[in-house]
């Protein structure tokens, strides 16, 4: 489903060139649960952004469903992205002015779905992540764990095939972190492909495969026996 061939990303800042990723080769099949680990600044977020089509690689190939999208325009990427990919962020990134249900609905807003159908989907997904009783609350009235559940709901409400999670448990205590991981596992078991950045070895343990990054390159890949 996803195939990166010799992919690199360099940042040009004030005459200094930083290679955030260099020569990365990764292949991810549909339905996989992949964890990405590595020290701070090694390029995990950069990799995830490129996988999520929020950023273009500087070099190399990105094959998405056998289509080379590495040089696609922003608008074209946006189109593929909104059909296929959901995001979960470390800092939740909920919009403060919108209520829980409105935040979730946001993910459907740009998909040409009729209002009634949108509402129905939102209600369903809120039930699924156990936040239905907080539907009308504003984000700042929720705990961190609850906020991240909203974020998970938002990532999956559109039935996205792939979820990219950048340190989804980074801002949560262990109990709430555990909850989020359980949710991700459940999603994966339903067939959603999950790619997650984490610092926690325990949480990486939920994944079938762990990719270790160091200084922009893949160092090792461990596959856990089923």
Ligand X SMILES: Nc1ncnc2c1ncn2[C@@H]1O[C@H](COP(=O)(O)OP(=O)(O)O)[C@@H](O)[C@H]1O
Could you write out the DSSP letters of every residue in 165-204? EESTTTTS-HHHHHHHHHHHHHHHHTT-EEEEE-S-HHHH
DSSP secondary-structure letter at 114? -
Contact criterion met (CB below 8 Å) for 95 and 147:
no
When the beta carbons of 45 and 146 are compared against Mg ion, the nearer one is 45
> Edge-to-edge, what's the strand order for the sheet holding 2-13?
16-28, 2-13, 59-64, 67-68
Residues 32 to 91 in contact with ligand X, rule: CB under 6 A: 40-46
CA-to-CA dists, residue 120 to 87, 124, 133, 160, 180, angstroms: 21, 6, 15, 17, 23
Contact criterion met (CB below 8 Å) for 7 and 21:
yes
Q: Which range, of 60-68, 83-91, 180-188, 191-199, touches another protein by CB under 8 A? A: 83-91
Q: Which range, of 2-10, 17-25, 31-39, 84-92, touches another protein by CB under 8 A? A: 84-92
When the beta carbons of 24 and 48 are compared against another protein, the nearer one is 48
Nearest distance, CB of residue 213 and Mg ion, angstroms: 11
**Residues in contact with another protein, shown as a per-residue x/- string from 27 to 66 under the rule CB under 8 A:** ----------------------x--x-xx-----------
Q: Which range, of 10-18, 94-102, 122-130, 175-183, touches ligand X by CB under 6 A? A: 10-18
**Residues in contact with another protein, shown as a per-residue x/- string from 125 to 154 under the rule CB under 8 A:** ---------------x-------------x
20 scored as a contact of ligand X (CB under 6 A):
yes
How many residues does this entry show for the chain?
A: 226
Q: Which range, of 93-101, 141-149, 175-183, 190-198, touches another protein by CB under 8 A? A: 93-101
CA distance 16 to 18: 6
When the beta carbons of 44 and 149 are compared against Mg ion, the nearer one is 44
When the beta carbons of 36 and 150 are compared against Mg ion, the nearer one is 36
CA distance 46 to 57: 9
- Tell me which residues touch ligand X (CB under 6 A): 11, 13, 18, 20, 40-46
């Amino acid at each position: 489903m996803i195939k990166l061939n010799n992919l690199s990303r360099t940042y040009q800042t004030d005459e200094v060139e930083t290679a955030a990723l260099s020569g990365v080769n990764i292949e991810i099949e549909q339905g996989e649960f992949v964890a990405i680990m590595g020290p701070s600044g090694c390029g995990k977020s950069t990799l995830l952004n490129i996988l999520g089509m929020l950023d273009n690689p500087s070099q190399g190939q990105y094959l998405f469903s056998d289509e080379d999208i590495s040089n696609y325009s922003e608008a074209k990427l946006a189109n593929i992205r909104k059909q296929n990919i959901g995001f979960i962020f470390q800092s939740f990134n909920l919009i403060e002015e919108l209520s829980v249900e409105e935040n979730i609905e946001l993910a459907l807003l740009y998909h040409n779905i009729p209002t009634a159908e949108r509402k129905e989907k939102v209600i369903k997904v809120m039930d699924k992540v156990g936040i239905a009783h907080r539907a009308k609350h504003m984000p700042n009235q929720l705990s961190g764990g609850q906020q991240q559940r909203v974020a998970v709901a938002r990532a999956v409400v559109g039935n996205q095939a792939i979820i990219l999670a950048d340190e989804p448990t980074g801002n949560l205590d262990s109990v709430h972190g555990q909850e989020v991981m359980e949710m991700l596992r459940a999603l994966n078991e339903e067939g959603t492909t999950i790619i997650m950045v984490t610092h926690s070895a325990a949480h990486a343990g939920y994944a079938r495969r762990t990719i270790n990054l160091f200084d922009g390159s893949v160092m090792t890949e461990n596959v856990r026996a089923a």
